[in-house]
Amino acid sequence: MMFPPARSPHQYMGPQLYRKIEKGEIGTLEALHQLSEAHPRGPAAQEPSQREQAAAAAALWELNQLVGLSEVKKTVEEIGAYIEIGKQREAHHLNCEPLVLHMIFSGNPGTGKTTVARLLGRLFQGLGVLSRGHLVEVERADLVGEYIGHTAQKTREQVQKAMGGMLFVDEAYSLGRGGAKDFGKEAVDLLVKAMEDYRHDFVLILAGYSREMASFLKLNPGLSSRFPIQIAYPDYSAAELLEIAAMMARRRHYSFSGAAKAKLQRFLSGRQGELNFSNARLVRNILEKAIRRQALRLSGREEPGREELITLEAADLAVERS
């Protein structure tokens, strides 16, 4: 159906307007007027158009293009299938569990959490689950305030910004540090309330290191059960990181020489399993540095050829172990 009636009204017209009507603060004419004044949210057809379905397919395709992440891909496929089947069940008048898509992502930095979250937003929008599908990335400092009342204001602001899409709280475990008096606790409570109130058009993702997230969840009993989707992001293997590096380079119209690849491989294998090993982010930094070093190396040449302009040599890689 074009218009799934089982959804809550504020998904379509904004919670404030809905609240004013429910409180009897405004009548029909004022409500209609405010509706016309509200921010444009684009065509509101609930059933995804062909264009949106194509966007969902593209997001899924891009996800599958990502190196590694096999567990993540499987989970996302399950979510997609669940949404699709839910629609078909609805068409057959079968009971559907309400879709709750709040998630916990645990893993080291640079393991693909943000990238996956962005793609999920696009996927959910394409499937008609989220109206906008954008990603708002925040961390503790964006949510937690300095004085009483400040946290509520800051957190609500971010939730509002993420409405229709996803709120991605990086290093979410840091909300749990500082004990009971800390304002972080208040932010957590507000987020929990938001995920209940707006669950029809808002997805909350808490992300952070596996160990820290686990103890954060242990300290906040009842929190874990509100996140039906929990995905662990393992560190990339050296081979996967090498593949990522090659892909990143290709996108920028560069490529590694054979010697450069071997050097990078040696370096990455050596650092595997190290604490604070920052995965894909590390690879990107190495690549960006290599690009700058190559430029410096070539700037002394007369007229470097196309091949030279593309190739990153072993000497460009600043990966000597310190």
- Sequence-ordered strand ranges (E) for 199-294: 203-208, 229-233, 255-256
- Go through 171-190 and write b for each residue having 16 or more CB atoms within 10 A of its CB, e for each that does not: bbbbbbeeeeebbbbbbbeb
Q: In degrees rounded to 5, what are phi and psi of residue 230? A: -125, 120
Q: Does the footprint of other proteins cover residue 6 (CB under 8 A)?
A: yes
Binding mask 68-97 for other proteins (x = CB under 8 A): -------------------------x----
Q: Write the DSSP symbol of residue 302.
A: S
Q: How far is the CB of 160 from other proteins (least distance, A)?
A: 18
- Does residue 99 bind other proteins (CB under 8 A)? no
Answer yes or no: are the C-beta atoms of 127 and 48 closer than 8 Å.
Answer: yes
d(CA 187, CA 140): 9
Q: Does 296 bind other proteins (CB under 8 A)?
A: no
Which 3 state secondary structure label does DSSP give 311? strand
Q: Is 24 in the site for other proteins (CB under 8 A)?
A: yes
36 binds other proteins (CB under 8 A): yes
**Rounded to the nearest whole angstrom, what is the least distance from the CB of residue 46 to other proteins in the complex?**
5
**Window of 39-47, 166-174, 197-205, 246-254 that interacts with other proteins by CB under 8 A:** 39-47
Based on the shown chain and the rule CB under 8 A, indicate whether residue 197 belongs to the binding site for other proteins: no
Positive or negative: CA dihedral 307, 284, 119, 16: negative
- Using the rule CB under 8 A, is 211 a contact of other proteins? no
Question: Are 135 and 117 contacting, i.e. CB atoms less than 8 angstroms apart?
Answer: yes
Residue with smaller CB distance to other proteins, 93 or 321 = 93
31 near other proteins, judged by CB under 8 A: yes
Beta strand spans in 60-213 (E): 103-107, 135-138, 166-169, 203-208
- In this complex, which beta carbon is closest to other proteins, that of residue 32 or of residue 81? 32
Structure letter (DSSP) for residue 146: S
Indicate whether 12 belongs to the interface with other proteins (CB under 8 A).
yes
Rule CB under 8 A: is residue 3 a binding residue for other proteins? yes
Nearer CB in complex with other proteins: 21/232: 21
User: What residues form DSSP beta bridges with 107?
Assistant: 233
| Chosen residue from 16, 32, 74, 301 binding other proteins by CB under 8 A | 32
The residues of the shown chain that bind other proteins, judged by CB under 8 A, are: 1-7, 9, 11-13, 17-18, 21-22, 24, 26-33, 35-36, 40-47, 49-51, 93
